[in-house]
Amino acid sequence: MSPNRNIFIIGHKNPDTDSICSSIAYAHLKNAIDKENSYIPKRIGTVSSETEFVLDFFKVERPEFVTDVKTQVEDISIKSFPTVKPSISMKKAWETMKGFNIKTLPVSEDGHKLEGIITVGDIAESYMDIHDTSILAKANTPYKNIIEVLNGELIVGDKEDRVNSGQILIGAMNPEVMEHYINSGDIVILGNRYETQLLAIEMQAQCLIITGGLPVANSIKKLAENNNCSIIISPHDTYMVARLINQSTPISYFMRKSQLTIFNMEDYIDEIREIMVKKRYRNFPVVDSENNIQGMISRTSLINLKRKQVILVDHNERSQAVEGLEEAEILEIIDHHRIGDIETGGPVYFRNQPLGCTATIVTNIYKENGVEIPKGIAGILCAAILSDTLMFKSPTCTQMDIETAEELAAIAEIDMFEFSKNMFRAGSNLANKSESEIFYQDFKQFKVGNITLGVGQINSMDRRELDEIKDRMLDFMKLVNKDKKLDLVLFMLTDIANESTQLLFVGSHTELVSRAFDGAIEGNSIELPGVVSRKKQVIPPLVNSYE
């Protein structure tokens, strides 16, 4: 396991109290015993009213919602590239690339927001294509760029000024000929001939570049100051100055600003891979949601991508798991349900015990590792056991569940039975809930042979409110059956107080229900006295009925 990784602990879709609370508690435990990684509880569904009550009661934060665990740009190696300002010279950009052995530079004025990119190809193309002697003016070139590129010294003028007009000329002719070539605002490259320097100033040149590091007469300096003409002395000869000066052009003139191929940290790898294959760039800039530069990636970056690492709790069936699980690395599975169909690329820690609740398993792992359980964590673990075992009335409940809940209740300082009543009432307040909220509060899909079942459940302390939603739920189940293309949709209206369930069913395989359960079927429902557990009393008979 790589150090310093974020590892997600995730329960099943449409999470119940056990799924949410076990995720939180197991993340707390893993963070206590593994200091090299960060374990983060996540959820892939809405927090139910019952679970809201539990988390609020014990003042525990809700896990963040996650849609999937597909591999994203943030999971691959993003190379940190230096950013450069748009005003730097082409020569400076080239030297930066050479120094870092890179072919692309992200451009940003503030060092954060991406404004464009400049590549080796852009620099080469500019160098080969520049034949325009007014390029410095068109690019609004800063004087400090010219000074830097020519290793020059400004003896008259302001280095913060910019070239905004004129052409570049070489003063190699005698004064009589030159006066017909120099125009106002031109930049003139010349030697130490006094007459030529004087003429250029009189013709209103904006800058004289003196080559060879030669001195300039004080009278020329004074005259240049009076005529707003800058003077730069360069140690290079005339040929070298003429060769280098275009490299002082700011990269903003040549950088790519539009139609850039930019990736976001949240982009999925399977989507960007196709783009990278089609566009033969060496590097692609990566930004965050606020357009802040994070670095660059290349096609080779995809070779060493790090898949997201996850731990699954309270489920081990693909239909109940987070989207994109096939792209993630499963590290552990902690569950108390039947063995499902999730496949892993290698061995994992798989703990599956025939208990009434995943929270019971998590509590035992705390004990095995000698980690003290805080009051709030003890509270949500106890609540999960009470919820999953229906206050110990479910046939899935074991003596270990009861003893574990009693120990946790003592730590949390709660009366289990009083707390349970309040918790179930909070969860079964159905009057103001939509059919979707009620149905998906605790809904799971199961694969049985060649058919797919969807089974939801709602628990209530009041039989009357269950009877009131029966017709509403049957109509909604028909929509679910059509939308999800299920073979059979069932919904359990479980009366906790009387330990019974009214099972509603719709779909193309309703004969499974009549074969699986004894009881009088009325329309699309059957009364099941003593039945409260989906896992132990509903799914197994349906499997047997199918077989």
Domain edges within the chain: 6-71+308-427, 141-146+153-231, 435-546
> Residue 56 has which token pair?
């609020």
| CATH, domain range 6-71+308-427 | 3.90.1640.10
Answer whether CATH 3.90.550.10 is correct for domain 435-546. Answer: no
The residue behind tokens 């007009």 is 165
| CA dist., res. 501 & res. 515, Å (int) | 17
Percent of the chain with pLDDT over 70: 99
Give the class (CATH, top level) of 141-146+153-231.
Answer: alpha beta
pTM as predicted: 0.72
6-71+308-427 matches 435-546 in fold: no
Give the helix ranges, DSSP H, for 433-517.
435-439, 463-483, 511-516
Residue 459 has pLDDT above 60, yes or no: yes
Q: How confident is the model at residue 99 (pLDDT cuts 50, 70, 90)?
A: very high
> Residue 331 has which token pair?
């590290």
Report the b/e string of 261-295 with b at 16+ CB within 10 A. Answer: eebbbeebbeebeeebeeeebebbbbbeeeeebbb
Q: Which of 268-282, 326-340, 471-485 has the lowest mean pLDDT?
A: 268-282
Note the pLDDT of residue 3: 53
Q: How confident is the model at residue 536 (pLDDT cuts 50, 70, 90)?
A: confident
